Homo-oligomer: A and B are copies of this chain.
Amino acid sequence: MSQARLMDGTALARRIVERTAHRAAELTSRTGVRPCLATVLVGEDPASVTYVRMKQNRCRTANIASRHVELPAETTTARLVRTLRDLSADPSVHGILLQHPVGDHIDERAAFEAIAAEKDVDGVTFASFATMSFALPGFVSCTPGGIMRLLDAYDVDPAGKRAVVVGRSAILGKPVGMLLLARDATVTYCHSRTRELSSVVREADIVVAAAGRPRLVRGEDVKPGAVVIDAGYNAGNVGDVDFATAVERASLITPVPGGVGPMTIATLLEQTVDAAARQLAG
């Protein structure tokens, strides 16, 4: 059997960011206002610091202004909620990203819900989850949205296909399943309590591995010809899919890195410009 074709998230993300940069510049020249993403960071977790910095850098390349708010690790829920409400009310901010996870002492859900729906460019609010689930206009969670863009770019139509999502987190597994369902896939959610995971995954025409467990999905679990999306990020650039064996069975597969990862930020930037365009038109 021949090897799977790679789904090149780096190249697709670059095209999306270029188009986004063009739209942002056009919007600025038309309105005099630069689209602006506010990033909020609580504490000094090194990985979070790195992620936020990366997002700010990408904003620059996309002609998006960024405003950064840093709060000390001991910030209370009330203080964080106030910050997010203020940003929600600030007309010079068009999109808001709360870098998460936040500390355990903070009610993360209360913080997310303090983000105005029209600025929720990271797709973390109840309203965004519901609009994704009901196929209504709204923002998508960035990684799920990026996965759908990848599928579209490689002409994978989910309609009528069996899709298996491994993982059920609030910002990845659950929403990507809902987006696939909205596109008429027959969707199965698997997770840590699923019995005989291998045999369930083997039913899938499209597999989305999003469990955060290194090499959980092995080649022998992949139905020959399936499309394999690896949304896992584990230490040492290892995904949730055992790439070496899965590439021998899949028809299309995302590499790690360079697959889903770059699509997440591209979606964030694109949605920031969407938000700005809508707010500046309103």
| A interface residues with partner B (beta carbon < 8 Å) | 109, 126-127, 129-131, 133-134, 136, 159-160, 162, 168, 170, 174, 177-178, 181, 184, 186-191, 193-195, 200
* A–B pairs, 5, beta carbons within 8 Å: A126-B129, A133-B133, A133-B170, A181-B189, A186-B189
Checking B129, B186, B190 against A133 with a beta-carbon cut-off of 8 angstroms, the contacting residue is B129
B186 touches A187 (CB 8 A): no
Cβ contacts under 8 Å, A131 to chain B: 126
Measured between alpha carbons, how far is A127 from B187 in the docked complex, in Å?
A: 23
In the assembled complex, which residues on chain B have CB atoms less than 8 Å from the CB atom of A194? Answer: 160, 186
- Chain B residues near A159 (CB-CB < 8 A): 193
Minimum C-beta distance from A181 to chain B (A) = 5
Q: How far is the CA of A159 from the CA of B181 in the complex (A)?
A: 22
Instruction: Give the distance in Å from the alpha carbon of A134 to the alpha carbon of B141 in the complex.
Output: 15
> Is B126's CB under 8 angstroms from A193's CB?
no
- Which residues of chain B have C-beta atoms less than 8 A from A188's C-beta? 186-189
Q: For the complex, give the distance between the alpha carbons of A177 and B131 in Å.
A: 17
Contact of A190 among B130, B178, B186 (CB under 8 A): B186
Q: How far is the CB of A142 from chain B (nearest CB, A)?
A: 17
> Which residues on B sit within 8 Å (CB–CB) of A190?
186
CB distance from A108 to the nearest CB of B (A): 11
Contacts of A160 in B (CB 8 A): 193-195
A190 to B126, CA, bound (A): 24
- Least CB distance, A131 to chain B, in whole angstroms: 7
Q: Which 7 A-B pairs have the closest CB atoms?
A: A126-B130, A184-B193, A188-B188, A186-B194, A187-B189, A129-B130, A126-B127
Do B186 and A191 touch across chains, with their CB atoms under 8 A apart?
Answer: yes
Residues on B with beta carbons closer than 8 Å to the beta carbon of A178? 174
The CA of A126 and the CA of B195, in the complex, are separated in Å by 31
Question: In the complex, which residues of chain B have a beta carbon less than 8 angstroms from the beta carbon of A195?
Answer: 160, 186
Instruction: State A134–B170 Cα separation when bound (angstroms).
Output: 7
Complex Cα distance, B126 from A50, in Å, reads 33
Tell me whether B126 and A109 are in contact (CB under 8 A): no
Minimum CB–CB distance from A129 to chain B (whole Å) comes to 5
Q: How far is the CA of A159 from the CA of B159 in the complex (A)?
A: 29
> Is the CB–CB distance between B170 and A186 below 8 Å?
no
How far is it, in angstroms, between the C-alpha of A168 and the C-alpha of B126 when the chains are bound?
A: 19
Q: Which residue of B lies closest to A205 (CB)?
A: B195
A109-B130 Cα distance, complex, nearest whole Å: 11
Given contacts A126-B131, A133-B133, A133-B174, are A168 and B181 in contact (CB under 8 A)?
A: yes
Q: Are A186 and B174 in contact (CB under 8 A)?
A: no
Q: How far is the CA of A109 from the CA of B162 in the complex (A)?
A: 29
